[in-house]
Chain A
Amino acid sequence: DAGVTQSPTHLIKTRGQQVTLRCSPKSGHDTVSWYQQALGQGPQFIFQYYEEEERQRGNFPDRFSGHQFPNYSSELNVNALLLGDSALYLCASSLLGKPNTEAFFGQGTRLTVV
């Protein structure tokens, strides 16, 4: 059973560019959440997708947007990249609204903005 997979693993972009990160959830999960983890910090919730819609959002600007596909996979898009967007981006999958559900994380995408 494949767990949560993310691509690419590493990415270098220039300020002002746009980037797309991808995530495939664990088999059987229907919800994808995205997190940003800056160096030395815990992950910060960006947003969550369920049934192809954004259900919850953290305190991130509109430059951060996403999408969920019918097969539950998801993309995170960041426009007009800033140096401060450099971080590890983590995707987590779960079953929405189910008791005792567990959230499983992917290996992350390391984004460096130069």
Chain B
Amino acid sequence: SQELEQSPQSLIVQEGKNLTINCTSSKTLYGLYWYKQKYGEGLIFLMMLQKGGEEKSHEKITAKLDEKKQQSSLHITASQPSHAGIYLCGADRTSNAGGTSYGKLTFGQGTILTVHP
């Protein structure tokens, strides 16, 4: 089984709707990254979470790391066609509770988001 499970695997929404993507880990998360990817292109960094209960926002995207640090969610408010793409969560399995990162990321399988105008 995957170390990081993302759900749903794909999501189709109407423009203006809110949506949530989940990332569940089988191990404690000390460094959790969210990236967005357009098909066949590189990964665009969205946010990094390290502390249990931490929440970060950028424009209409909010990411949270739960208190037990084994699940993260990405929430998009009032979705737009520009939000369409593949969302990937990545865990730095080599980081520690002190927040030091060693840059070896394990990724979920991705969530494909389609936003219809």
Residues of A participating in the B interface, judged by any CB pair closer than 8 Å: 4, 6, 31, 33, 35, 40-45, 48, 56, 58, 88, 90, 92, 94, 96-108, 110
Contacts and interface: CB of A to CB of B under 8 A. Distances in A.
A106 B42 CA distance: 5
Contacts, number: 82
A108 B41 contact: yes
Contacts of B80: none
Interface string B4-47: 10000000000000000000000000000101000011111100
Contact of A42 (B40, B98, B107): B107
26 contacts: A40-B110, A42-B88, A42-B110, A43-B43, A43-B88, A43-B90, A45-B106, A48-B104, A56-B102, A56-B104, A90-B43, A94-B101, A94-B103, A97-B100, A98-B101, A101-B101, A101-B103, A102-B33, A102-B45, A103-B33, A103-B90, A103-B92, A103-B101, A103-B105, A104-B45, A106-B42
